[in-house]
Structure 1
């Protein structure tokens, strides 16, 4: 019986933003898990902010591979067989202060070996008191 080849998975991780005033969002954190026996090639097709019920498309994004501590080309990067690539998708700052209970995330659509996969990186805002209060 032949083993079924698993499909690569894209998983969004939570990003915690600590702020006193004027919070902004500038990246999401993701993992691309390649449990297959072959190297895969990935390409970022779109990035957006999920602001409660609204979608804000983002451009000028970058991909920073945390695993290898280097920038990679968002249009074409590889993940070796049986490895996990943890990476940040960065973009120009978006100033945003969430309403109480509002859910915010960075959405990502990637093409891996001709298949489309999507994930969201939840953004958790933690408001701090100014120093000295």
Structure 2
């Protein structure tokens, strides 16, 4: 009597997952020894195998669980790389902002020095009042 699944097996046996993994013609079987509770392996050469199905370099497809695990590992590694890059960008932006702040402070000091060193002899009365108020503002900032 022929099994209903012979047609399907005919297709599946060519698939790499179902090919024979051993290179010898027999199958290995573990048997329990009676007194020692140990296992021994013996080769059963009575089992016929199709020699056309034996592949020298067997590569089994990756299983679903392994694929998910590898995908998670890749996502975590990509996240870490993105995190490092983002941290580096933030540190560069922070450094740039500090440099900009230093430049602004230097420019303000130069302007303050120009105001302090200005010659009041050539100024009229309103210019002297403005100059005096600017000097007070500079004194407040520096103290």
Q: Would you say same fold, with TM above 0.5?
A: no
- Identify the TM-score tier after normalising by the shorter chain: under 0.3
Bigger Cα Rg: 2
Greater per-residue strand proportion: 1
TM-score (normalizing by structure 1): 0.20
Structure with more relative contact order (C-alpha pairs < 8 Å, separation 6 or more): 1
TM-score (norm 2): 0.19
